[in-house]
Structure 1
Amino acid sequence: MTALSAFALTSCSGGGGGGEEEDEPQGPPTLSDIDDAMWDAMESADSVTVEGDMGEIGEGEDFQEFLGDSGTLSVSGAMDGSFTVISGDGEPLMMMIGDEAFVDGGITASLAAAPMGDAIDMDQLEQELEGKWLDLSSEMGSDDEIDLGEMIADGRETWEEGAEEDDSEGDDSASDESDSDESNGESSSSSSDENPFNSSSLEEEGTEEERDGESVWAYSDDEGNELAVRADEDAPYAVEVTNDGTTARFTEWNEVDEPERPADDDVMDQQDLESLLMDLMTESQ
């Protein structure tokens, strides 16, 4: 891919003069001129917040109470995985700090009481767990970890695979196009299921827009897919990505602070939770 092209906006104010001597305002760089700089900036960032649609998870009643009407989750944290906070509707639901993991007492109450039906007083359980955090450190495995740095690296791999598919399609002969399209369709579908980044359908030419008070360069296609990046040639961080109806929003690049660990008095383990549930079941009989 080519190096990042220079971006400048020339003032339109002032008197006349030779038309050919005046610089015309430049539009956004082409997508292939900006994507390497985008990925380099994101991979070298310290932290970020990613907000996305909940999808099927958000349809669960246990989550709706905490997510409100937004139906979204946000993941904030360090790119090196040293800390991560998962929030719903602006409220933290889970924190991972170093080797420790904590789940909010409110969502713990909903998930713990769900299979117990009327055998337990839900209101009392919520009252007991209000302000508490369940320590799940011993239950966490490598598959449960959320690594934002790895997510960005996977996104770049998916992106570059899409670009390579475009190049290979351009080199294919007409007789091979149908087979190539079928193969590439399967690959693109598989990639987009795991990551919203996909370059294969976006137009090279972008537009400059303002979103939430920030200038962005937006690149889209006819199917509603889009990539919007910060209009900054030195740090064109992704701002919003939409692919196959899934949207991810990126904010707080390099601005996320590590959360404070819950106080010891506010932390309970699995044994504490089981004892509490047994006591409440006994009281309900």
Structure 2
Amino acid sequence: MTIAITALAAVAVSGCSNPFDAQDVGDPDTDPQETEAPEDEGAAENEVPAFGDIRQEMFSAMLAADSVTIDGEVRAGEADLDELFDGVDDDTTGELTITGALDGTESEMSFSAGGSSFTQRAVAGQEYFRGEDFAALLVSELDDEVADLVEEEFVEETISDNWVLFEDSGGSVFSAEEFISTWRSELTGDDVDAMAAHAEEREGETVWVYTADGGESEFVVAADQEPYLLEITDEDSHYEFTEWNASEPPEVPTDVITLDEIFGAIAEEQGWEPGALEDEESDDGGAEHPDA
């Protein structure tokens, strides 16, 4: 009997991959789409600039910030959570939180939907995955051959109370910078630049509110200081941006386990020689059962 240890390793790698799509993200300083829009005289009269007039300044200011906290609701299909976890429908709405440094270092990202969740943390140049979430992901992705050998309860007991350390991962997670850059690439075009605009007082702060699609889409921008986005409401999604330049970094986890330690614990529990999962790899990419 062979052990598909490569499947275990593949799950470990996919578990820390970027669950969101940030394709077509341009450089904020060189993106050819960034052009100065003509001044809207009507907006100027109402002291509310057209979205096209502040777009470049807004995204430049946001991408230059040190840190931010983003809380929102998004469908599981948009976050690919339906692909990571069995039983999660792509229409299920989940909760997203990104907090800490804008570039994904010294930050944390979590997503939950349909009873499934994951949390990634980057701190002090290392990347961690919350053990409870990783155990569920690992168990759900085990192929039948490995699942017959490894008990789910043992995997959960071994991993759940720890943070799984991904060594040599680069020490960053999906970042607020990538999230903001994705919106920057999407919020373009004449219709977007000419969205209806008005000023409001919200929680004692003057904001500019831009709406489209008959009011179903709304973008709230700070008016008194830097033009940071404060809220986005778009179709089935809603996000809030808080703690600009004041979002605290996460702490270094105290209870940590590595992938090698997880595999070593599985080998020991099965009565195999230490390192059997790594040392018994066959030439065709499989791994021979130590007792076969």
TM-score, normalized by length of structure 1?
Answer: 0.61
For residue 66 of structure 2, what is the aligned residue in structure 1?
46
Report the CA distance shift for 1:158/1:71 in structure 2 as closer, same or farther (over 3 A): closer
For residue 174 of structure 2, what is the aligned residue in structure 1?
146
- The aligned amino acid for 2:159 is L
- Is 1:258 aligned to 2:249, yes or no? yes
Report the CA distance shift for 1:120/1:109 in structure 2 as closer, same or farther (over 3 A): same
Contact 1:125 1:280 in 2 (8 A): no
- Is 1:127 aligned to 2:157, yes or no? yes
Contact 2:100 2:250 in 1 (8 A): no
For residue 82 of structure 1, what is the aligned residue in structure 2?
105
Report the CA distance shift for 1:213/1:131 in structure 2 as closer, same or farther (over 3 A): farther
For residue 240 of structure 2, what is the aligned residue in structure 1?
249
1:97 to 123, 128, 133: 123
Report the CA distance shift for 1:236/1:272 in structure 2 as closer, same or farther (over 3 A): same
For residue 24 of structure 2, what is the aligned residue in structure 1?
none
Measured in 1, the distance between the counterparts of 2:205 and 2:118 equals 26
Quote the offset at 1:63 in angstroms.
8.6
Report the CA distance shift for 1:95/1:247 in structure 2 as closer, same or farther (over 3 A): same
- The aligned amino acid for 1:226 is E
CA deviation vs aligned residue, 1:96-135 (integer Å, no higher than 9, x gap): 1253111111012112222144544333432332331111
> Would you tell me which structure has more helix in proportion to its own residues?
1
For residue 196 of structure 2, what is the aligned residue in structure 1?
205
Task: Determine helix, strand or coil for the equivalent of 2:196.
Answer: coil
For residue 16 of structure 1, what is the aligned residue in structure 2?
none
2:218 to 226, 237, 240: 226
Task: Determine helix, strand or coil for the equivalent of 1:111.
Answer: helix
Measured in 2, the distance between the counterparts of 1:111 and 1:221 equals 39
Quote the offset at 1:234 in angstroms.
2.1
- The aligned amino acid for 2:213 is D
Measured in 2, the distance between the counterparts of 1:45 and 1:95 equals 20
TM-score, normalized by length of structure 2?
Answer: 0.59
Task: Determine helix, strand or coil for the equivalent of 1:257.
Answer: coil
Measured in 1, the distance between the counterparts of 2:121 and 2:47 equals 42
Quote the offset at 1:155 in angstroms.
4.0
Contact 1:202 1:221 in 2 (8 A): no
Report the CA distance shift for 1:154/1:108 in structure 2 as closer, same or farther (over 3 A): closer
Report the CA distance shift for 1:262/1:34 in structure 2 as closer, same or farther (over 3 A): same
Greater gyration radius = 1
Contact 1:48 1:255 in 2 (8 A): yes
Any gaps of 5 or more consecutive residues in structure 2?
1-35, 273-292
Contact 2:206 2:224 in 1 (8 A): no
For residue 22 of structure 2, what is the aligned residue in structure 1?
none
- Is 1:111 aligned to 2:141, yes or no? no
Moved more, 205-214 or 41-50: 205-214
1:137 to 151, 154, 167: 167
Report the CA distance shift for 1:156/1:83 in structure 2 as closer, same or farther (over 3 A): same
For residue 17 of structure 1, what is the aligned residue in structure 2?
none
> Would you tell me which structure has more strand in proportion to its own residues?
2
**Paired residue total:** 219
- Is 1:275 aligned to 2:267, yes or no? no
Measured in 2, the distance between the counterparts of 1:221 and 1:79 equals 28
Identity %: 25
- The aligned amino acid for 1:233 is D
Alpha-carbon RMSD across the aligned residues, in angstroms, is 3.9
